[in-house]
């Protein structure tokens, strides 16, 4: 089938092409789309070169799916134009996530909400995706009351400019700054802009998106999100309070059998999730699983996933795979 990738030349767009190829998604014709300055450039997909086109040419080509990784403003302006042409949009920006008329999907958690009528589907925030993949089986069994999460997020979540800033600082080279402060040998407790309540936009995304994806308004989430000088994935220290008590052996078993989750929790052999080992993997890794001894029915764990893959590209491609499998596409 014809597949358009909007924002094909960016960090996530490039990863999207890689994941589409690796997972052997049925692409008969790729339509790479980017801003005017990139039109005419070439991107490579499965050994073949494709010229980057503008959005009008992409819509005229009538792809079955358009995967957007081009920022919120572009998505708000262009996604409805694609949708009006009968093209199913999977959008990686924050533009549509909290729109009550749009589905916010992590396939392992809530793919069943999708229908053929859903023409704009939102891909959640990277840090939310990896957390809810672990939370869902636990919520189904023990019912989650409250989640306290602190994140340790990779510079790749900001984009190419941030990766370059980190690498420049490592080499002692002056260069363009993606952040207000140096990132190498530092931790910056701000991701996205601050809101009136003192939280950042990223922190509130985690709070609201978790509730929407899991589908339970009673789950309370409070987050602190931090940027650290790391590549390869986001890490999260997560404290989960349940309504009901749990058995640790049973809980581990539950996570071991959960789709998309890999338990790495062998402290005797120093095995636990790390960005270094999660890099370029599609799964979400969980470890340091232990009871919170300070209060009842509460668990501590450590969750790591590659933010460009499961946190963005892989999740979007998995949504596309589900749409194909269930026959929910129009221009197929």
User: What angle, rounded to 10 degrees, do the helices at 11-22 and 314-325 form?
Assistant: 50
SS3 220: strand
d(CA 66, CA 119): 10
Q: What is the mean pLDDT of residues 268-284?
A: 98
* Domain match, 106 and 81 both: yes
First to last CA, the chain: 6
* Domain match, 109 and 131 both: no
* Domain match, 89 and 47 both: yes
- Closest to 280 in 3D by CA, of 19, 82, 7: 19
Residue 257 has pLDDT above 90, yes or no: yes
- How many domains, in total, are found in the chain? 2
Residue 201 has pLDDT above 70, yes or no: yes
* Domain match, 161 and 16 both: no
Residue 291 has pLDDT above 70, yes or no: yes
The domain in which residue 72 lies consists of 2-124+312-325
- 331 found inside a domain: no
* Domain match, 105 and 194 both: no
CATH number for position 235? 3.30.360.10
* Domain match, 67 and 211 both: no
List pLDDT tens digits, range 22-38: 999 999 999 999 998 99
The first and second tokens of residue 265, run together, are 């929790």
Catalytic residue among 139, 234, 279, 301: 234
CA distances (Å), origin 43, targets 24, 47, 51, 63, 94? 17, 10, 6, 18, 25
- Structure confidence at residue 330 (pLDDT): 78
- Contact in structure between 49 and 56 (CB atoms under 8 Å): no
SS3 helix, strand, coil % of the chain, rounded to 5?
A: 35, 25, 40
Q: What is the mean pLDDT of residues 82-101?
A: 97
- 109 found inside a domain: yes
* Domain match, 162 and 258 both: yes
- 9 found inside a domain: yes
- Closest to 95 in 3D by CA, of 66, 122, 59: 122
List pLDDT tens digits, range 209-224: 999 999 999 999 999 9
* Domain match, 24 and 143 both: no
Annotated active-site residue 139? The verdict is: no
Question: In sequence order, which ranges of the chain are alpha helices (DSSP H)?
Answer: 11-22, 55-60, 72-84, 107-110, 126-142, 160-171, 201-214, 248-256, 275-278, 314-325
- Structure confidence at residue 184 (pLDDT): 98
Rg of the chain in Å (alpha carbons): 20
* Domain match, 27 and 148 both: no
In the chain, % of residues over pLDDT 90 = 98
Residue 172 has pLDDT above 70, yes or no: yes
d(CA 108, CA 46): 27
Q: What is the mean pLDDT of residues 291-304?
A: 98
Annotated active-site residue 126? The verdict is: yes
Query: For residue 226, how many other CB atoms are within 10 A of its CB?
Result: 16
Look up residue 194 and give its DSSP letter: B
List pLDDT tens digits, range 109-163: 999 999 999 999 999 999 999 999 999 999 999 999 999 999 999 999 999 999 9
Q: What is the mean pLDDT of residues 218-236?
A: 98
What string of DSSP letters covers 297-312?
TEEEEEEEE-TTIIII
Q: What is the mean pLDDT of residues 180-192?
A: 98
- Contact in structure between 290 and 321 (CB atoms under 8 Å): no
- 102 found inside a domain: yes
d(CA 19, CA 17): 6
- Structure confidence at residue 292 (pLDDT): 98
Residue 183, Ramachandran bin (φ over 0: left; ψ between -120 and 50: alpha; else beta): alpha
- Structure confidence at residue 28 (pLDDT): 95
- 330 found inside a domain: no
* Domain match, 111 and 194 both: no
- Structure confidence at residue 98 (pLDDT): 97
SS3 322: helix
CATH number for position 94? 3.40.50.720
* Domain match, 294 and 251 both: yes
- 317 found inside a domain: yes
- Closest to 183 in 3D by CA, of 215, 159, 201, 216: 159
* Domain match, 87 and 144 both: no
- Structure confidence at residue 332 (pLDDT): 64
């Amino acid at each position: 089938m014809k597949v358009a990738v909007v924002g094909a030349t960016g960090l996530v767009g490039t990863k999207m092409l890689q994941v589409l190829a690796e997972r052997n998604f049925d692409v008969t014709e790729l339509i790479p789309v980017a801003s005017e300055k990139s039109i005419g450039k070439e991107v490579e997909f499965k050994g073949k070169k494709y010229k980057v086109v503008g959005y009008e040419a992409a819509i005229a080509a009538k792809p079955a799916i358009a995967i957007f990784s081009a920022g919120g403003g572009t998505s708000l302006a262009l996604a409805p134009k694609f949708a009006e042409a009968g093209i199913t949009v999977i959008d990686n920006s924050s533009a549509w996530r909290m729109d009550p008329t749009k589905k916010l999907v992590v396939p392992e958690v809530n793919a069943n909400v999708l229908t053929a009528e859903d023409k704009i589907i939102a891909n959640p925030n990277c840090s939310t995706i990896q957390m809810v993949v672990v939370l869902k089986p636990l919520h189904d069994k023990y019912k989650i009351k409250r989640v306290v999460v602190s994140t340790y997020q990779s510079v790749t979540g900001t984009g190419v400019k941030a990766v370059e800033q980190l690498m420049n600082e490592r080499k002692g080279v002056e260069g363009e700054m993606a952040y207000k402060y140096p990132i190498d040998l530092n931790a910056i407790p701000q991701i996205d802009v601050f809101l009136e309540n003192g939280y950042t936009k990223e922190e509130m995304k985690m709070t609201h998106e978790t509730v929407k994806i899991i589908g339970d308004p009673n789950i309370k989430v409070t987050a602190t999100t931090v940027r650290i000088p790391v590549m390869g994935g986001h890490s999260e220290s997560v404290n989960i309070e349940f309504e009901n008590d749990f058995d640790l052996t049973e809980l581990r078993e539950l996570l071991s059998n959960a789709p998309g989750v890999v338990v790495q929790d062998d402290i005797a052999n120093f095995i636990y999730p790390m960005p270094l080992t999660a890099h370029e993997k599609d799964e979400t890794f969980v470890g340091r699983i232990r009871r919170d001894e300070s209060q009842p029915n509460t668990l501590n764990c450590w969750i790591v996933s590659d933010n460009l893959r499961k946190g963005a590209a892989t999740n979007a491609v998995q949504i596309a795979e589900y749409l194909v499998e269930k026959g929910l596409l129009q221009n197929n």
